[in-house]
Amino acid sequence: MRLLSVGLGILLSALWMHAGAAATLRVAPTTLELIAPDSAAVLRLRNDAKRPINVQIRVFRWMQSNGADRFEATDMVVASPPATQLAPGMDYTVRVVRTARRPVTGEESYRVVVDELPDPGRRRAGTVSLVVRHVIPVFFRAADAPGPRVSWNLARSGGRLVLVARNTGSSRLRISDVLLRAGGGVVRRESGLLGYVLGGATMQWPLGAAAGLGGGPVTMTVQTHLGPIEATLPIRGR
């Protein structure tokens, strides 16, 4: 099953209630990483509203194919409880547990999606509100799993410049703050999180128009969770 509209960090979804309502649900930490044989971790939820809120917690297997993220329902990892109501100012603990019996090989990737559910009783005609969705990456990794081994390419596609990352390692690489330089100047800058390339996967991200760039090499600098990377890349395609 494909899960649509799941991003990294916090995704705000337009729903029913009055406009201008502040975010009420907090979740920590923002990433979970467990090294085998560890198989359970906790998320801490907090309701900052002055009213009760209902929360739903779901887990999806996270894969990548054809340069894009894919999400499928799974019972290999569960969240307990899968739903709850948080009283005003209440802190709550949710357990995230890998239930699969087979040992972890390499690295397994999941997303925990924590949704604040809309309250139909607070709906007002002609108004909307922003209800928070938190999307938490979860990784289960074997202690001897090799790290990421990523090769990079730049390509032109439909007049846009595309960054391609191919990871032949067994673990993910988190990528942010992309800087491209050519001819002594900056030609493209992407601040903040770009995404992840999982172990054994290939991902691609559009970086904007490719007009004005020649076929010469481009120097790329990116930040990762393992430190900065710099590479000199040709531009493929037309």
What CATH number is given to the structural domain containing 87?
Answer: 2.60.40.10
Q: Answer for the pair 108, 132: CB distance below 8 angstroms, yes or no.
A: no
pLDDT digits (tens, 9 = 90+) for 34-87: 999 999 999 999 999 999 999 999 999 999 999 999 999 999 999 999 999 999
- Predicted confidence (pLDDT) at residue 8 exceeds the cutoff of 60: no
pTM of the model as a whole: 0.85
For residue 203, give the nearest of 165, 169, 235, 176 by alpha carbon: 165
At 219, which helix (H) or strand (E)? strand 218-224
Around Cβ 182, how many Cβ atoms within 10 Å? 19
Judge whether 187 lies within some domain: yes
Output the average pLDDT for the chain. 86
**Is the residue at 190 inside a domain?**
yes
Asked if residue 33 and residue 95 are part of one domain, the reply reads yes
Do 85 and 154 lie in one domain? The reply is: no
- 157 in a structural domain: yes
> How far is it, in rounded angstroms, from Cα 71 to Cα 138?
13
pLDDT digits (tens, 9 = 90+) for 153-176: 998 887 788 999 999 999 999 999
Same structural domain, 130 and 182: no
Domain that holds residue 83: 25-141
* Same-domain pairing of 136 and 155: no
If asked whether residues 187 and 79 sit together in one domain, one would say no
Q: Is residue 2 included in any domain, yes or no? A: no
Check: CB of residue 193 under 8 Å from CB of residue 8. yes
Q: Looking at 107, 141, 175, which one is the last position of a domain?
A: 141
Contact residues for 83 (Cβ-Cβ < 8 A; gap 6+):
54, 55, 56, 57
Q: Are 196 and 157 in contact (CB under 8 A)?
A: no
Domain boundary among the residues 141, 171, 198 is at: 141
172 and 131 together in one domain: no
Q: Are residues 157 and 104 in the same domain?
A: no
* Residue 75 lies inside a defined structural domain of this protein: yes
Has residue 192 been placed in a domain?
yes
Strand 129-141 to 32-35 pairing:
parallel
94 and 77 assigned to the same domain: yes
State both tokens at 47: 């309701």
* CATH assignment of the domain containing 208: 2.60.40
In a domain, 7, yes or no: no
Q: What is the pLDDT of residues 128-158, one digit of tens each?
A: 555 789 999 999 999 999 999 999 999 888 7
Domain count, the chain: 2
